[in-house]
Amino acid sequence: MNRIEQRFLELKASGRKGLVVYIGAGDPNLSATEALATAFDQAGVDILELGVPFSDPLADGIVNQLAAQRGLESGTTPPKVLQSIQRIRAQSEIPIVLYIYFNLLHRVGVDRFIRDATAVGVDGLLVLDLPPEESANYEALMLAAELCPIYLIAPTTPEARIAFIAPRAKGFIYYISREGVTGMQSKVSSTIAEMTQLIRAHSQTPIAVGFGISNADQAREVAAHAEAIVVGSAIVNRIAEHGHSPDLVPRVAAFVAELSQAIRSLPSSLPSA
């Protein structure tokens, strides 16, 4: 079974909520990315999203744009990211999703990229700018490789389109709780409960809610409505702050452990659709 699907089964069986963490691969360098990945596994992270650096990250706010820029400046390329994942796999079985823009797949060939990703231990892809309506060939290749195609649903997604997207997702559905680009927020959206219930009416795939979660209190609030939460910019911001410090890994891992602890004590029951 795919590691992502297995992890959500384990979370459900143990009555826990999941923590999905995003970082930019190669920020500040790939050695740090590898060290952070193994530290996150030990700190209670359930799924790791690695952003593959891209020159035009349209879905990302300034924090993650700068992380992509630092990744490019450190010489990070898609093949080097895959090599890093292979090294991570020597130490950890943490489920890994690549957060990636379609041009990077298209450049080498979608089939080849999926085969290469599978070979090193990637578990899923979140292709930011590939509309589900145009993903039939991609989906077929992903399912044949037993990788999870992760799809996004937004607050502005009409129910008819939710009904189209939700059944196609494997592993988890990423509900982006705010309009716009990635970034930290001072408070969480007031429509999360309503939208997650609507998504559950069309799919039993676990829902992970992200975009804007900045601290343990917000993590706890959002996790009450989903099987998992996604935290990115708040972590990336700490990597930017401590990127050249010898204490980078323990400092960032300590913050991630706080998030993990914040959601562990929540009841696992969710409202029915």
**23-46 per-position pLDDT tens digit:** 999 999 999 999 999 999 999 999
* Structural domain includes residue 197: yes
- Report the SS3 class of residue 162: helix
**Exactly one of 27, 34, 49, 227 is catalytic; which is it?**
49
Beta bridge partners of 21: 48, 231
* Structural domain includes residue 43: yes
Q: For 224-237, give one letter per residue: b (16+ CB within 10 A) or e.
A: bbbbbbbbbbbbbb
How many domains does the chain divide into? 1
- What CATH number is attached to the domain comprising 193? 3.20.20.70
* Structural domain includes residue 77: yes
**Exactly one of 27, 60, 221, 227 is catalytic; which is it?**
60
* Structural domain includes residue 271: no
What predicted TM-score, i.e. pTM, was given to this entire model? 0.93
Instruction: Tell me which DSSP letter residue 89 carries.
Output: H
Instruction: Tell me which DSSP letter residue 52 carries.
Output: P
**Rounded distance, CA 65 to CA 258, Å?**
25
* Structural domain includes residue 217: yes
Instruction: Tell me which DSSP letter residue 159 carries.
Output: H
Comparing C-alpha atoms, which of 175, 170, 173 is closest to residue 138? 170
Q: List the chain pLDDT tens, one digit each, 273 residues.
A: 899 999 999 999 999 999 999 999 999 999 999 999 999 999 999 999 999 999 998 888 899 999 999 999 999 999 999 999 999 999 999 999 999 999 999 999 999 999 999 999 999 999 999 999 999 999 999 999 999 999 999 999 999 999 999 999 999 999 998 654 444 444 556 789 999 999 999 999 999 999 878 899 999 999 999 999 999 999 999 999 999 899 999 999 999 999 999 998 666 655 544
H or E stretch at 221: helix 216-223
**Rounded distance, CA 75 to CA 80, Å?**
9
**Rounded distance, CA 105 to CA 197, Å?**
33
**133 is an active site residue:** no
* Structural domain includes residue 144: yes
Contact 75, 28 (CB under 8 A): no
* Structural domain includes residue 269: no
Order of strands across the sheet with 124-127? 148-149, 124-127, 96-100, 47-51, 18-24, 228-231, 207-210, 173-176, 151-153
* Structural domain includes residue 273: no
Q: Token pair for residue 148?
A: 């999870």
Tabulate helix, strand, coil % of the chain (nearest 5). Answer: 50, 15, 35
Domain region containing 136: 3-264
**56 is an active site residue:** no
